[in-house]
Structures are given as structure tokens and as C-alpha cells.
Structure 1
Amino acid sequence: MLTKADLLAQNRAIYLPAISANYANFARNGAFKRKVGGLIPADLDFLDPSNRYFAYPFALYSAGQVIRTPNKLPKACMVAQRDRNETIVLGDSGGFQVSRGTIEFEKDTTARRMLKWMEGVADWSMVMDFPTGGIGPGFMKPHVERLIAEGHDLSAMCKANGQSLDFNACLLQTQINNDQFVAERTAGATGLLNVLQGRNEAESKAWYEAVKHYPFEGIAFAGAHQNHFSLLLRRLYDLHIDGQLQKCAWVHVLGVSTLDIGCLLTKVQRCVREHWGYPDFQISFDSASPFINAANNGMIIGQTLDAYGWTIRTAGIATVGSNDLPLSVSDFCTSKLHRKTDRLGREMIAARTATGNRIGMADLCVGKAKIAGQRDRSGLDVDGSYLLMYHNVQAFVTAHAKAHEVFFGPEQWRIPLDTLSIAGAIDVMFRGEPITSAMGGVVYAPVRDPISHIKRCQIWLDRLAIQRTRPTSRIGYNIGQAA
């Protein structure tokens, strides 16, 4: 079983599945409507360290998906009733939903409600930021008007930092919420992460300078920081130079869970620990992909890990042929993955999970009906959807573990060039430029100006944020070793 202590000891960035509220409730309070391979709803509670199939002690849980009424308290679900000594849950404040109007914003009432909810359910919690991602779609326009009507001088902020009205509305409302969190938090109830937003370097820097003084216990990187490693490294260096990083007991990167970025975040974590001397520095990252995929009839069937790209493979199971129904879920994953990729000559690994070995495709796909002129249709009912979510979580966690084995192992040829380039640039920033000594060995010349190094390597550091439209050239940065 995967225990909290064992995983933390691996010195890895930790993936947090962002749990669906319905799933969390079902695993503790639900009941299957039919027999499903001898499983009971409690078997789906992967936060339970005694789970007989699969236990995983980390997760993200968002107040934004459960708080819809003013007096909503944490429900007696698998998150609220977990063993807090054996698990770690990061609370998301729901600022995304609040800024977009999905949850009504009631000034300090909303922030207070989110804070108190997270204090009751989470070990670490993000402050209620207003994301800059809402600027483009126009979600910040009503908030700009509201803040100006309340007497806030957004124009003065624009003149001071050179950013737009919408950006400064995001920043100002976040500062107001931060002040409230500082004033109203219960000491020791949950560690708070200061959220850093920004869509580019200018916004990221302005945001950082405006919020870096808050006395929170960690940092959450949002916006473009999730896949622009130039931004992430710049802010980490700022935190280091400003003496803030030593106060960060937890660092989270929001809304990203690709295999290559997960490994690169581990690379950053190990470099910070080794070269900057912060032995307890810990990074996590999250996504709701296992649950969203399942909600859309998507099964994680495996992964490809080779120089052409690292991908978690999914297959739609809204329609499943009669010949697949007798297969176990794990055997279906193996069969389907090979059908999808055998003509490409890819390095592929099928997903085999504990529940996937026990239950069959017929346990997932019910309501089988013959439609004239079409394949047999096998739809998922509620029971099947929850079983699929559980399989997907384990498949996702296992995929990241295997990716780390390859990334930090001897098979460097299996790592895509873009990922290797980023790893090499990170390595040089922290360790120094490799040069040949007079004795013929390799020594490292320290980088005197890390920011200049980041600027010089920015085109490579941000490669994973760029939509690739043609094969990558092999002319580029001296990538070194990923490990």
C-alpha cells in the first residue's frame, strides 16, 4: 500500500486527485444498486489506509463544488472522516467559481464561509484568489464595476504597476480576501497557501510583489505558472532571495497533471532541496482528470512513454462490443491500448489496477441494447461510473509512478526532447554549467545570474506551454541529464 510516510520519503512531487464531491459522499454513505464483483462503496475510499484494493493518502478537495448555500458545512464524506494522521488533503477555496459567478459573491461573507469550510476539512488550504484566467472571457467586468463603486482606485493601481483594470481587480479582490483570512483564521486549523497568479512575466511579478508579505505557510502557483517553467523558476528564485522560501512548508501547482510536468516538478523539488538547502521543500500538483474522464465514459487504459511523447491514454466506453464484455477491466485495457497504438510502434504500458483485475467490463457496462445498424451499446449507470472513477484514480497514480521510473532511470532515450531540454535548463540553473576540467573530468561552473539564465533558456523552458505544430528540431539547448 502507498502510505503517506513512504511517498513523502521518495522526494517526489506529489499528484493530488481532485476528488468529486459526489464520489466522496458515495464512498462513505452510498450503496450499490447491484452486485459489482463483491465490492462495497467503502472499497472506493482510497484515503482509507486499510483499503483492501488501493490506498492513496493524498487528494485535493474544492469548496467550490460543495458550497452552494450560506450555511453549508463539510459533509460526512470520505474526506471529512478520513484519518488525518495518515492522509493529506489540500483545500481549494473555490475562488475560480466565485469570480465567475457560479457561486454568488457576498463580499466578506463568501470568503469567511470558504475559510471556515476548509479549516474543517483540509490540512492545507489555498486563499480565495480571483484568477487572472477569468479576464479573457470577461468574467472580471462586473467585479471591476463593483470595486470602483465601493471606492477602490483601480486606476491608481494600474498607473503604479502598469497592468490592466481587470488584472488589478483580480489582484485587489485577492488582497482583500487575504486580509480577511489573516484576520479571521483559526490558528493551527489549516496551513494557508498564498496564491500567485499571472498570465505572463509582468503580471506574475506584479502579483508576487503585491502579496509576498502575507504571513502564510506555503505557495500555490496558478495561471501560466503551471506549464511556463520560466515563470515558475523566476518566482521560486524571488522567494529564495527574499527569504520567503524557507517559510514555505508546501508548494502547490494548480490544475496540471501531465506526466512530463509531474516529473519536471520533481526535478525542481530535488534541486531546491539539494542546492538551496531546504530539505523539507515539497511540491504537489493536481487535476480532476480521473473523475472528469469517468463522468464522460472515459477509461484510462494505459500510457505511452517514448521520445515521441508521454501521454495517458483513454478510451471511450459508451459503446463496447459484445466480445469485450467478458474481459476483466485490466484485460480490456491491455487489449484496447494495443488496438489503439500497435500500428505506431509506441512504447506503451497498459493500466492494470487492483479493482480492474477483480471486476469485468460487464460490471461497468450495463443497459446493453441492440440498435439497428449500430454496435451494441453498453452504457454506464451510477454504479459503473463510480467504479470507473476508482479505477481511473489508481491508473493515474500508477502512470505517474512509472513515468518517474523512466525519467530518473537509465532509459533517457524514452524522454521527449522538449522535456529533456527543460530538465537540462533546470539542472544548469541550480547545479551550474558542466565543463571539462584540466584532469578530464566534469565539474560545474555556478550560474552567476539565474535570471539571465532563465531568459536565455526561456524558449525551451516554456516549450510545454506551446502548441506543437511540427516535429521538434534537435538543435537547441545543451540538455544534460534529466536525473
Structure 2
Amino acid sequence: MTRDFSSRGSDRARYLFAGQASTHATPYRDASQLRPGGMPDGVAAPSDLDFMDRSNPFFFSDRALHSAGQYIGRTMPLAVGTFTKRPGNTILFDSGGLQFGRDPKQWQGNASRAWALRFLEAHADEAITLDVPTRVITPGILPFGSFGAALTTTVDNNRYFARHRSGGVRFLSVLQGETSADAVAWYDAVKVQPFEGWAFGGSLRVDYIHVVAMLLRLIKDGLLSPERNRLHFLGVGTLTHAVMLSAVQQALREHLGDDDLLITFDTSSPSHLATNGKIYGYPNITPTSFAMSILKPPADASHQDWNTPFPVSSSRIAERLLVSDLCEPAFTRQSGWDALGHEIAVNHNHESLLRGIDDANSHLEMPSAWSSLLAPDHIIKAHRALRTMFRHLDPLAHIRRQRAAFAKIGSAKAKEGEDA
């Protein structure tokens, strides 16, 4: 039976898989082109890998993220694929600001702004505005060689989008900054051109004391209203951040009286792990651990005759797989997984992570007497502080009382394949 992740935990923050171009295209390729020897017995057709199709035999999600940065300069519409707009689904597109920032030679001012806006309006339901992420600033490298240059370009981009948009896409304005002072300066500059929501970028996006301070600014300025009730956290996807963002969403909904306010967060971790021949297992949730397990299964062409069950069954697709189903010789790839095997691994990783996030939220939603037996103490304290912050006269002071718990979260290594 298909597992429908769109209908689970309606009060929880939603994880969006930041899918690659190959994940968009593979389900709609001819099977004989993907693997001349035929599909594995457990996968009837490439279309079984389209997790945004409600009739998918494995699992379904109605939300995902795709990045325009993979297609910079492209003028032809994307072919039909996994991340094509369709009724009932929501595709959030990143604008490509990270890619422009990493390769400034691609930046052409208004021409780049016009391309990004046209591309997003053609393919997205929701989209991140075209920012210059502060983490790509390289002093002396034009045109984004300083914080001021990055902010000025971002403000100009916002003005261009506001002036030329058609109105068919919901845009989220990005909040950046690597220090508190820079983050406030950035906010003060972009808030004068508000869109329909907010995206948190920069290293401070996982500093919950900072996040709460920014949310309080948004509320005070009237910029977290029903017209702007979408929040997205870029490059975040561990179990810890999943439950923290669920707590923030629940607290905001209760405080603002807005049950439609939604927080989403994304990583490309399912693809990143598969590229390195790794897979997610089951979540490891105990009083000393709160993370997805990661394994390195047989992934070499020499394993193509291993007709043994796939060593992990934390996804629907894995329940049907043999090791040999993935290990098809592919001399152009580092591992023994060919293009089809890679996408099968991505599909497995995606569902396994969704299941892990589901389990993590369920653990923290239990009465504290029970959750304390199942999850680390600092996770429980931080989660509870966020969930109850608006029940206190000074929400920020309430959060700061648990600074030790939040510091432990901030210092934890990204052990779950989280994007840098």
C-alpha cells in the first residue's frame, strides 16, 4: 500500500526533498534507455520513481523543492517530470542565487533577473526570491565581494521581481546574514519590499534564539500575517531541526490564530548520500541519539550477481529489492550503481528520511514523561521551550533560558547527510 506523507501530521513542519535534475527526468525516460537489460522485478517502470504521483506504488508526497540554479540560461520549458506543476501538489523553486553567487561570471544583471523570473513563473507554484547568499561572499571577487554588495544586489532583485512579476507565483523573500548585526541590517533592507512569505538562509537559520528574535520582529512589523504565512528554512533536514521547526510552527499557529501558517525545510541529502554510495536506514532515536542511521551497502559492479535482499527495508521500494538490482555495471560512475540504480537509492533515501522525520515528531509529541525515556534531554527541553514560547510574557527570554540545550543542538555535527 502506498504511504501518503501528505496526510500525516498536518500540524507539523514539512520536509521538502531538494531534487536534482536526474530525479526530475528519470521517471519519464524510456526503460530501455535507462537499463537495456530491463527493470528490476520490484520496479515495474521508471514512472514508479515519481513520488509526486498520487498513484505511486511506493510513497507519495505533495511537496518538493527544485532549484532553478541547475538550469541557468535555459530558455526552453522543462520537459514533463517529477517536479512538473500539477493539481494538488506544490513545487517550491529556489531561484539559483547560490549558483550565481558561486560562479559570478554567470551574473548579467537585469538579464539574469529577467531569466530567473520567467523561469520561476513558468515552473513554480512557490519560489524563493533571487538573493545573493551571504555564505558565498568572497572579499574582492566582484560583483559579490562584500556584504553590502550582496545585499544591494538582492534588494535590486526584489524590486525587479516586484515590478515585473505576473502574480501567479507565491514568492518568499530571503533573510540572510552570518552575524546578528548583518541579519538585522538585511531584514531592515528587504522588509520594505515584502512578498508572500520568508525564507531563512545563512548560518543563523539553525540558531533558534536568533530565529525566534527574527520571528518576533516579523510579528511586530505585521509581516507574518495570513497573506505572508509561509516560512521556509534552506538546507535544513536533520531529525533535530524537523522537530524544532514543528514546535515553532505549532507555537506560531496558536499565537497568531492561523492554522494555515506553514513551515517547510529542505535538503538534497537523499541524492547526496546516494552519490556517495550511501543509504539511510532507520532512525536511531534513544536518550543518547536523535539521528538517521547511515549505511554503505554493497555498491560495486562486482556485486551484480548478489541476489540477496537489500540490507535495509526502511522504504517501500527497498522491501522489493535485491542487492543486484542496484549494482548494474556503469563505467561512467564512481560506484557500481548505474543511473537507474542511483535513482532507486535516492527514492529509498527520500522515503526513509520522511519516515524518520515522522517517527521523530511522534516521539516528541508524546507526554513528556514518555518522551524523556525515548529522546535526548536537550532535544526535549529545546522542543518544549519553542512549543510554549508564546505562553510567556517575554518569548525570547523564555527561549534563552534553554540556551545550553540550543547550544548543544548548534554544536552537533550534521551526522545525517545534511547539506552544508
CA contact (8 A) 2:327 2:341 kept: yes
Q: 1:313 Cα deviation (Å)?
A: 1.6
Distance 2:175 2:194 in 1: 14
Matched, 1:412 2:408: no
Letter in 1 for 2:306: L
CA contact (8 A) 2:177 2:204 kept: yes
The C-alpha deviation readout for 1:76-97, integer Å capped at 9, x for no partner, is 32212x42x2211110001001
Q: Which residue pairs with 1:265 in the alignment?
A: 245
Q: Which residue pairs with 1:278 in the alignment?
A: 258
- Cα distance change, pair 104–412 in 1 and its aligned pair in 2 (3 A): same
Q: Larger radius of gyration, structure 1 or 2?
A: 1
Q: Percent identity?
A: 28
Distance 1:5 1:258 in 2: 19
Report 1:112-123 matches (<5 A).
112-123=114-125
Q: Which residue pairs with 2:417 in the alignment?
A: none
Q: 1:4 Cα deviation (Å)?
A: 7.6
CA contact (8 A) 2:286 2:374 kept: yes
Matched, 1:252 2:232: yes
CA contact (8 A) 2:330 2:337 kept: no
Matched, 1:44 2:49: yes
Distance 2:204 2:231 in 1: 12
Distance 1:56 1:360 in 2: 25
CA RMSD in angstroms comes to 2.5
Q: Which residue pairs with 1:79 in the alignment?
A: 83
More displaced stretch, 25-34 vs 207-216? 25-34
Distance 2:6 2:51 in 1: 16
Q: 1:102 Cα deviation (Å)?
A: 6.6
CA contact (8 A) 1:43 1:51 kept: yes
Distance 1:290 1:139 in 2: 33
- Cα distance change, pair 265–14 in 1 and its aligned pair in 2 (3 A): same
The C-alpha deviation readout for 1:197-218, integer Å capped at 9, x for no partner, is 0112111111111111213101
Letter in 2 for 1:180: Y
Matched, 1:291 2:271: yes
Letter in 1 for 2:204: H
For the residue of structure 2 that corresponds to 1:192, the secondary structure is strand
CA contact (8 A) 1:13 1:283 kept: yes
CA contact (8 A) 1:99 1:140 kept: no
CA contact (8 A) 2:91 2:124 kept: yes
More displaced stretch, 241-250 vs 192-201? 241-250
Distance 1:454 1:298 in 2: 37
Distance 2:7 2:260 in 1: 15
- Cα distance change, pair 378–185 in 1 and its aligned pair in 2 (3 A): closer
Distance 2:230 2:309 in 1: 39
Q: Which residue pairs with 1:381 in the alignment?
A: 338
Q: 1:2 Cα deviation (Å)?
A: 5.2
Distance 2:412 2:314 in 1: 31
- Cα distance change, pair 301–139 in 1 and its aligned pair in 2 (3 A): farther
- Cα distance change, pair 291–70 in 1 and its aligned pair in 2 (3 A): closer
CA contact (8 A) 2:16 2:264 kept: yes
Q: Which residue pairs with 1:354 in the alignment?
A: 316
Q: Which residue pairs with 1:305 in the alignment?
A: 285
More displaced stretch, 254-263 vs 111-120? 111-120
Matched, 1:58 2:15: no
Matched, 1:425 2:385: yes
- Cα distance change, pair 30–16 in 1 and its aligned pair in 2 (3 A): farther
Report 1:160-239 matches (<5 A).
166-187=146-167, 189-239=168-218
Greater RCO, CA 8 A, separation 6+: 2
CA contact (8 A) 1:226 1:255 kept: no
Q: Which residue pairs with 1:465 in the alignment?
A: 410
Distance 2:77 2:263 in 1: 29
Structure 1 alignment gaps of length 5 or more? 146-165, 334-350, 370-376, 433-446, 469-483
Q: 1:366 Cα deviation (Å)?
A: 3.0
Q: Which residue pairs with 2:24 in the alignment?
A: 24
For the residue of structure 2 that corresponds to 1:380, the secondary structure is coil
Distance 1:314 1:289 in 2: 11
Distance 1:52 1:467 in 2: 36
Q: 1:354 Cα deviation (Å)?
A: 1.4
CA contact (8 A) 2:173 2:195 kept: yes
Distance 1:310 1:324 in 2: 36
The C-alpha deviation readout for 1:84-118, integer Å capped at 9, x for no partner, is x2211110001001011177001011121111111
Q: Which residue pairs with 1:364 in the alignment?
A: 326
Q: 1:46 Cα deviation (Å)?
A: 0.4
Q: Which residue pairs with 1:472 in the alignment?
A: none
Q: 1:311 Cα deviation (Å)?
A: 1.4
Distance 2:230 2:254 in 1: 17
The C-alpha deviation readout for 1:213-250, integer Å capped at 9, x for no partner, is 21310110111233100111111111111111013231
Q: 1:47 Cα deviation (Å)?
A: 0.5
Letter in 2 for 1:325: W
Q: Which residue pairs with 2:7 in the alignment?
A: 6
Distance 2:179 2:244 in 1: 20
More displaced stretch, 318-327 vs 420-429? 318-327
CA contact (8 A) 2:58 2:316 kept: yes
Distance 2:158 2:164 in 1: 10
Letter in 1 for 2:11: N
Aligned residues: 400
Distance 1:131 1:323 in 2: 43
Letter in 1 for 2:224: L
Letter in 2 for 1:326: N
For the residue of structure 1 that corresponds to 2:154, the secondary structure is helix
- Cα distance change, pair 463–72 in 1 and its aligned pair in 2 (3 A): farther
Match of 2:307 among 283, 301, 326: 326
Distance 2:249 2:114 in 1: 33
CA contact (8 A) 2:209 2:396 kept: no
Q: 1:295 Cα deviation (Å)?
A: 1.4
The C-alpha deviation readout for 1:318-367, integer Å capped at 9, x for no partner, is 359969933322xx12xxxxxxxxxxxxxxxxx52211111211101234
The C-alpha deviation readout for 1:128-177, integer Å capped at 9, x for no partner, is 10011113xx27731157xxxxxxxxxxxxxxxxxxxx111111110010
Q: 1:73 Cα deviation (Å)?
A: 3.0
Q: 1:254 Cα deviation (Å)?
A: 0.5
Q: Which residue pairs with 1:343 in the alignment?
A: none
Letter in 2 for 1:201: S
Using the size of structure 2 for normalisation, the TM-score is 0.88
Q: 1:368 Cα deviation (Å)?
A: 11
Structure 2 alignment gaps of length 5 or more? 414-420
